[in-house]
Amino acid sequence: MRSLHELPRFHDRWSYLYLERGVLDQEASGLVFHTADAHTPLPIDQLSLLMLGPGISISHAAVKALATNNCLLAWVGENGIRLYAHSTGGTFSARRLILQAKLASDETSRLAVACRMYQKRFPGGLLEGKSIEQIRGMEGLRVRKTYEALATQFGMRWEGRNYDQNDWFQATPANRALSAANACLYGVCHAAIVSAGYSAALGFIHTGKMLSFVYDIADLYKTETTVPVAFRLASTVTKDLERAVRMECRQVFHAARLMARILPDIAEVLNACDDLGETSEEMEGRAVSLADRVEAGDIPGEPEPESKG
């Protein structure tokens, strides 16, 4: 049996591969992506996240092969933006989910995690003796000041965060750009969270929504990534603003090494390195195939054929 330490960690694999308008099928021991003018082999053991965009058909055999190799499947919008549905994550263990649930269900530990999240975003904040509600208020004030500063920097009028999804184009360009950019960020964070076996719903600052933890983690990166992108493009782009924002977010996320940072950052704010006895790199998870689990005896395998001698 191969040692787990001989298998690649997720950050050693490709962070993600986005496919659209083609057919994904299994051939021999690998996958092949068929389009109108090409047949492209995919190295299945190098994928941690496969994003399926519009116009994709995928065979049952391909889904089974990806699941066997712990590759997360995500059904997304055009150009990899917005996460609509996903498969099981890249881990067989529930220990991270159990730890997350334990921390979220205890008021003291929940407050400690919320404080670490705030300190990571705004180093130097005085949080001693503050409640969750007070931390939310401090966070809101800092974010509003960031919006105002960027609006001034790009020569824009800013009257606050305000939009109506039922009347989208009545919102200001800055508000529309912020919504589009944050949707991109939520998709990436959601995929990372479920790939490691966490729950998207068990939040610490945000609560009560199916994506509460996604909002918590995405907030760690907004002022670095999506907020500057939104204000900069809202001040210059007059046509297809939302599409321009989505395209720019892809570049910014890549430059910020976002896919490599999310899971270690989650481990840090949950203090998971101490509670689970792992380093932040190990918290990224290892790519363990179903075959390895069968050999280890964790999952029953097919019975050996009887000898005919």
Asked whether residue 150 is domain-assigned, the answer is: yes
Order of strands, sheet of 72-76, starting from the edge strand that comes earlier in the sequence: 17-19, 49-52, 72-76, 83-86
54 and 31 assigned to the same domain: yes
Q: What is the CATH number of the domain that holds 113?
A: 1.20.120.920
Q: Report yes or no: 203 and 209 within 8 Å, Cβ to Cβ.
A: yes
Q: Which helix (H) or strand (E) holds 120?
A: helix 107-121
Asked whether residue 153 is domain-assigned, the answer is: yes
Q: Report yes or no: 74 and 63 within 8 Å, Cβ to Cβ.
A: no
Token pair recorded at residue 78: 């055009």
70 and 105 assigned to the same domain: no
118 and 217 assigned to the same domain: yes
12 and 116 assigned to the same domain: no
Q: What is the pLDDT of residues 180-206, one digit of tens each?
A: 899 888 888 887 888 788 999 999 999
Q: What is the pLDDT of residues 257-275, one digit of tens each?
A: 887 889 899 999 998 866 5
CA 83, chain centre distance (Å): 9
20 and 103 assigned to the same domain: no
Q: Report yes or no: 69 and 171 within 8 Å, Cβ to Cβ.
A: no
CA 116, CA 202: separation in Å to the nearest integer?
16
268 and 179 assigned to the same domain: yes
179 and 120 assigned to the same domain: yes
Q: What is the CATH number of the domain that holds 60?
A: 3.100.10.20
CA angle 249, 250, 253 (to 5 degrees): 80
Asked whether residue 199 is domain-assigned, the answer is: yes
Asked whether residue 298 is domain-assigned, the answer is: no
Q: What is the pLDDT of residues 134-193, one digit of tens each?
A: 888 888 888 999 999 999 999 999 989 887 767 777 789 999 999 889 988 888 888 788
Token pair recorded at residue 308: 């005919």
50 and 112 assigned to the same domain: no
Q: Which helix (H) or strand (E) holds 33?
A: strand 30-34
The confidence score (pLDDT) of residue 219 equals 95
Domain count for the chain = 2
What lies within 8 Å, CB to CB, of 40 at 6+ separation is 32, 33
Structural domain harbouring 17: 4-86
167 and 230 assigned to the same domain: yes
% of the chain with per-residue pLDDT over 90: 37
Q: What is the DSSP letter of 45?
A: G
Final residue belonging to a domain, choices 86, 114, 129: 86
132 and 262 assigned to the same domain: yes
CA angle 297, 303, 305 (to 5 degrees): 140
197 and 141 assigned to the same domain: yes
Q: What is the pLDDT of residues 202-260, one digit of tens each?
A: 999 999 999 999 999 999 999 999 999 999 999 999 888 988 998 898 889 889 988 78
246 and 108 assigned to the same domain: yes
The confidence score (pLDDT) of residue 278 equals 56
CA 157, CA 173: separation in Å to the nearest integer?
10
Asked whether residue 304 is domain-assigned, the answer is: no
Token pair recorded at residue 31: 């996958």
Number of helices followed by number of strands (H, E) in the chain: 11, 8
Q: What is the pTM of this model?
A: 0.73
- How many CB atoms neighbour CB 211 within 10 A? 17
